[in-house]
Chains A and B, each alone.
Chain A
Amino acid sequence: MFDSVRNTRRMRMNAAAEDPVVVGLESFEAFYAREFRPMVGLAFALSGSRLGAEDIAQEAMMVAHKKWDEVALMERPDAWVRRVVSNMAVSAYRRRLSEARAIARLAGRRSEPIPALEAPDAEFWKAVRALPGKQAQAIALHYIEDMPVAEIAEVLDCSPSTAKVHLFRGRKNLAAALGLEDRS
């Protein structure tokens, strides 16, 4: 019975249909297949850990899997999981946890890390990570996910105007740190 409860499936059955084809809600498997890599990218940008990014993304997916009954019913399950990923990635203790796992994994030679970035790109993300957490998250979502302000707000769980402020300040600070021009 353990698995029966843990693996509770969300399934809407179409009462009108002769064959009760599942409609509406997406399976966790499909969600994972589509979203895992982008989540790793987001985690990589915000944590800077080539070895820990996958752990962070996977940990977030674990949380989503555990709560899939609720998450699947959300309007934007992907936004919710991105929030978990970005929070984990900028969280100090999560970073330490990931690094600890990374060290253990490296020692065991069980996995290939994400390839290292070229120096200019690495420098850019290092500067992003030096920003205050919400600014860093807004910047990462803006560039990696190409998200408009409204979607960034959804992921950060704040109002669009607040997200706009995070993005604006993040851009300003980032441009200053990198000696670049912000033409926005």
Chain B
Amino acid sequence: MNDLDTRGRQAAAAIRQAVRETPVGVTRVKRSRALPAFAGGALAAIASMAVAAVITPPEPTSVDQPVTTVIVTTTTLPPASTTTVSPTTVTSAPAVAGVETTVAVDTEPPMIEIISPDDGFETTEERIEFRGITEPGARVFAGPYEADVTAGGEWSIVLILSEGENPARFVAVDKAGNESEAWVTVVLESPEETAKPPETTVPTEPDKTTTTTVVEVEFSAHASFGICSETPPYDVYYGTGTPGMVVEAGSEYGSGRTEVRSDGTWEMKVVFAEAPLGKAFTVNIGTSKGHSKSFSFEYVGE
């Protein structure tokens, strides 16, 4: 016990043991600000509970009810957590005399279409947004990644391409677990190829202008710290917005300005060189399109 390494290893083992004993995981993640992907595991559990609850025949309140029809809906989470319902219609034994329970199952595969990019689309941008439409309520996956789907069924997902041809498969999964798929191939050109002088009559510049679209992105703003002990004190603000939009930070003790990047994100470090010690003040984040959000900041000293 008089050896540093012996004590160190023992103390390290104690730390590892203590951490193992602590229940950390999905619930804690969900409590934090934004880790949406982690909802997957919880959703799987919730979905299985929901299915169990739905298919349990309800307690009859009156024997006059001749038929209770239950629609089974479930959530499928490919590839690991999959809850499936056989595509059949089941009529169970009556729960009580005179009451028939029918389970109707949706067997229709969801519609899925890719709106953009077009099949064979060539680009020099490594990052590309795929957009499309599917049945409202369905979920769309590209491999293990889930696309964002609006209530109306419009979906989008940003993926990173490899050089050359990229065949992309998107799978739509409806609430009953039915699947359908759509394919599109996009081509990422190498920088060398794009640097070559054009050998054909196809103009490159006009193509660029016609294929460039500014996607409206919902504005958001977040403060990284809210307090700082370093000198000079600073905070880093970040968020999303429409590409090109100007975002400004203003306060009594410091200001900043930036533009939303082409991928719809922005980030700005603002130094509050004259910030008073221990006194919180307001930092306003505003945009050229009239968005506004306020944060508190406090310099707490070393």
Contact = CB atoms under 8 A, between A and B. Distances in A.
Given A1-B264, A66-B238, A11 B19 contact: no
B32 A62 contact: yes
A19 B216 CA distance: 32
Contact of B12 (A21, A28, A69, A143): A143
B240 A182 contact: no
A140 to B, nearest CB: 8
Contact of B162 (A12, A27, A41): A12
Contacts of B38: 29, 32
Contacts of B8: 124, 139, 142-143, 174
B184 to A, nearest CB: 10
A180 B6 CA distance: 10
A92 B11 contact: no
Contact of B217 (A2, A12, A114): A2
A13 B10 contact: no
Given A62-B33, A171-B4, A183-B3, A54 B160 contact: no
B142 A62 contact: no
Given A8-B127, A40-B22, A14 B302 contact: no
Contacts of A27: 37, 144-145
The CB with the most chain B CB atoms within 10 A, among A66, A117, A146, is that of: A66
A125 B148 contact: no
Contact of B18 (A91, A111, A114): A114
A3 B19 contact: no
A21 B166 CA distance: 11
Majority secondary structure of chain B interface residues (helix, strand, loop or mixed): mixed
Contacts of B302: 92
B143 A11 contact: yes
A89 to B, nearest CB: 12
Contacts of B147: 4
Interface in A88-130: 91-93, 96-97, 111-118, 120-121, 124-125
Interface of B: 2-5, 7-12, 14-16, 18-25, 28-29, 32-38, 40, 127, 129, 142-145, 147-148, 156-169, 215-218, 220, 224-225, 227-230, 238, 240, 263-265, 300, 302
Nearest first, the 10 A-B pairs at minimum CB distance are A93-B229, A5-B264, A124-B11, A121-B14, A2-B218, A143-B12, A22-B143, A143-B8, A9-B145, A8-B158
Interface of A: 1-15, 17-22, 27-29, 32, 36-38, 40-41, 44-45, 54, 58, 61-63, 65-66, 69, 91-93, 96-97, 111-118, 120-121, 124-125, 139, 142-144, 146, 171, 174-175, 178, 180-184
Given A9-B160, A27-B37, A143-B8, 16 more contacts: A2-B218, A2-B240, A11-B142, A12-B160, A13-B159, A15-B164, A20-B166, A32-B35, A32-B38, A37-B20, A40-B22, A61-B35, A111-B28, A120-B11, A180-B3, A184-B5
13 contacts: A2-B240, A5-B217, A7-B37, A8-B263, A11-B145, A18-B167, A20-B143, A37-B19, A121-B14, A144-B15, A178-B4, A178-B7, A184-B4
